């Protein structure tokens, strides 16, 4: 078992190192940091699986040399994988699995950030603002190294204050949206990996028939109305809630796309190409969100008819 623990720590540590030191390629590696933790939690059990997460976190701090908000983010990804593994063992449904993992991550991250700001003797808003500003600066440097034109960089630089102002206010929604997406991605990948390795894999039924609760549509409409009202707090709550709801409807839209890929027997290579286009093209991603949102009224998959209801 000790060899398995070392393997888990090595794989997770490599993903972290790539994420931390290779900005562009590393972004995609960071998405899958929870996956080995999920896998080894189920393969090795709770105690050994937790050792994989804890030892990797210690190595992260040793590599960077200090505790920071970035280390916090990576540590929360380890927690996400562990809680997803627990959810699989407890045979939770797909919604409960994702919500449990996201809840654990968001609540623990919020508590740590509050404690961090208290120990630093700085207001929470100032800590968050500095973190956003530092990441915007790193993004600017990355653009410079990628060979983006100086004109575009200067134009972006002039807008940094406005971008920072907006990002700070929508950061809660962005965080929850990101955690939801990473949890969904790793749960799907984990299910395939576990099944391929002959380990207990969750059976969620045909996920391409998944639908979100109908009441969420009216919540989304209410949030849209809040954006039109002349109250800053309501606007901020509305935009953050809409970001989260857009993620939910993206999941439903992808389920619709997957349903028709299967129904029309699209070749796997073509499916992969189309999924990649959805991932990198914002217009297509928005179209997928639209599919999910309007599915309540248009019932694209005609699920009720097929189920004989």
**pLDDT higher for 266 or 135?**
266
Span 54-87, pLDDT tens digits: 999 998 888 877 777 778 888 999 999 999 999 9
Confidence (pTM): 0.88
Give the 3-state secondary structure of the chain: CHHHHHHHHHHHHHHHHHHHHCHHHHHHHHHCCHHHHHHHHHHHCHHHHHHHHHHHHHHHHHHHCCCCHHHHHHHHHHHHHHHHHHHHHCCCCHHHHHHHHHHHHHHHHHHHHHHHHHHHCCCHHHHHHHHHHHHHHHHHHHHHHCCCCHHHHHHHHHCHHHHHHHHHHHHHHHHHHHHHHHHHHHHHHHHHHHHHCCCCCCCCCCHHHCCCCCHHHHHHHHHHHHHHCCCHHHHHHHHHHHHHHHHHHHHHHHHHHHHHHHHCCCCHHHHHHHHHHHHHCHHHHHHHHHHHHHHHHHCCCCHHHHCCC
Span 243-286, pLDDT tens digits: 999 999 999 999 999 999 999 999 999 999 999 999 888 899 99
Q: Does residue 99 surpass a pLDDT of 80?
A: yes
Going by pLDDT thresholds of 50, 70 and 90, the confidence category of residue 184 is very high
> What does the domain layout of the chain look like in residue ranges?
1-118+174-202, 206-309
For the residues 180-200, what does the mean pLDDT come to? 92
């Amino acid at each position: 078992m000790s060899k398995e623990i070392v393997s888990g720590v090595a794989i997770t540590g490599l993903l972290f190192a790539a994420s931390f030191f290779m900005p562009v390629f590393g972004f995609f590696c960071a998405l899958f940091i929870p996956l080995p933790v999920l896998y080894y939690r189920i393969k090795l059990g709770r105690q050994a699986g937790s050792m994989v997460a804890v030892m990797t976190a210690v190595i992260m701090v040793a590599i960077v040399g200090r505790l920071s908000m970035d280390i916090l983010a990576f540590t929360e990804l380890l927690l996400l994988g562990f809680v997803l593994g627990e959810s699989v063992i407890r045979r939770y449904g797909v919604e409960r699995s994702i919500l449990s993992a996201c809840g654990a991550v968001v609540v623990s991250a919020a508590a740590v950030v509050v404690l961090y700001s208290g120990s630093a003797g700085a207001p929470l808003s100032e800590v968050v603002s500095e973190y956003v500003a530092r990441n915007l600066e790193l993004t600017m440097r990355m653009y410079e190294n990628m060979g983006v034109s100086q004109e575009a960089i200067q134009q972006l630089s002039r807008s940094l204050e406005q971008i920072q102002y907006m990002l700070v206010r929508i950061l809660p929604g962005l965080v929850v949206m990101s955690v939801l997406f990473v949890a969904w991605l790793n749960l799907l990948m984990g299910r395939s990996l576990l099944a391929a390795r002959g380990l207990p894999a969750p059976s969620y039924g045909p996920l391409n028939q998944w639908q979100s609760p109908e009441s969420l549509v009216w919540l989304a409409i209410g949030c849209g109305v809040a954006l039109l009202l002349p109250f800053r707090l309501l606007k901020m709550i509305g935009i953050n809630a809409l970001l989260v709801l857009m993620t939910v409807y993206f999941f439903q839209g992808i389920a619709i796309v997957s349903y028709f890929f299967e129904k029309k027997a699209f070749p796997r290579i073509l499916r992969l190409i189309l999924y990649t286009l959805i991932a990198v093209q914002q217009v297509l991603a928005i179209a997928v969100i639209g599919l999910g949102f309007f599915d309540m009224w248009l019932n694209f998959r005609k699920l009720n008819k097929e189920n004989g209801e």
